[in-house]
Amino acid sequence: MVKVCNITGTTAFLTAGLFIVFLACCNSTGLQEGSEEFRNSPHTIENRDSLYINFTHRAWGEANWWTYSNYSKMYEMTNNQVDYFVSVAFYSPDRKKIIAWIGQKLPNSRSIKKYSEISSNNRICPRGPDTVYTMSAIIGYRENAGSIWKLYPLELQSVVCSSTKEEAERILTAYYFHYMKSHEMFRVQQDGPRRGYKELQAYGYNIQDKGFWDKCWIWGKDTLGSHSLYTFQILGYDDQGRMCTKESADPWDPPVVDYPKSITDLYKNP
């Protein structure tokens, strides 16, 4: 579990390997080491990937899908006021796997509907400054280094209502560089006495660890509870405690995104 400070709201659930922690207004105590590692790690993202991921992020938000918000439906603002960005990207050595930290810079707008007599409470982040930052992660794969990514949410650690981008980055750094390896999530066991059943299992690797890209089970395919999907392609399972079958999985179903030709042309094999 990631140690954080001044938490104003926490929502956590375990389903298909998802664990979401919403944080607000944290100071940086205890996270300086992670910040230094962040600055010194190789995480330069290709320009085409940055464009592609940002376009995906915005499209998911405009579709109001999953935890990605169409702010204009709830707040006195437009989606054009949201600045989408990719903070860092981590690639596998063969450039066929990716994890990117994605974020939004947005005005702390008032809600369309009045919920409280206290005016300051009727905002996206009641205790936040006039500009706030959110950050989470996205995960994906592709067939070869020249093809387009297939992307999915990765909300193992999320940050909302941060006062600065650097503050949010420190929290993600702490999780992915220090705590991910001991984080237990539900996984369909592929072998052993509990083969076919969901069991809590630690990831065993942090993102910078040797072996992360080929040994961490987040990159494993579930051949028992799904039709050989990667674990991150699965939202949940309809197993109710029973042994999973190939029909048990409920895959993610992201909105169809119509990418502009100016982006798809940047890839050799779209």
pLDDT of residue 34: 39
DSSP string, 236-251: EE--TTSPP-TT-EEE
Assign 22 a pLDDT band (cuts: 50, 70, 90). very low
Residue 89 has pLDDT above 50, yes or no: yes
pLDDT higher for 10 or 249? 249
Nearest alpha-carbon partner for 153 in 231, 88, 82, 227: 231
pLDDT of residue 71: 96
Report the percentage of the chain scoring pLDDT > 90: 80
pLDDT of residue 118: 87
Residue 4 has pLDDT above 80, yes or no: no
Residue 217 has pLDDT above 80, yes or no: yes
**Phi then psi dihedrals of residue 190, to 5 deg:** -90, -15
pLDDT of residue 46: 95
In 3-state terms, what secondary structure has residue 13? Answer: coil
How many C-beta atoms surround the C-beta of residue 157 within 10 A?
24
Spans of all domains in the chain: 32-264
What type of residue is 113? K
**pTM reported for the whole predicted model:** 0.85
Give the tokens for residue 138: 């996205």
Nearest alpha-carbon partner for 33 in 177, 226, 151: 177
E-only strand ranges, 108-257:
131-141, 150-162, 184-188, 198-202, 221-222, 229-230, 234-237, 249-251
In 3-state terms, what secondary structure has residue 255? Answer: coil
How many C-beta atoms surround the C-beta of residue 83 within 10 A?
13
Nearest alpha-carbon partner for 99 in 36, 21, 164, 151: 151
CB 204 within 8 A of CB 218: no
Q: Output the furthest CA–CA distance in the chain (Å, rounded).
A: 57
Alpha helices in 157-198, H assignment, sequence order? 165-174
In angstroms, the first-to-last Cα distance of the chain is 39
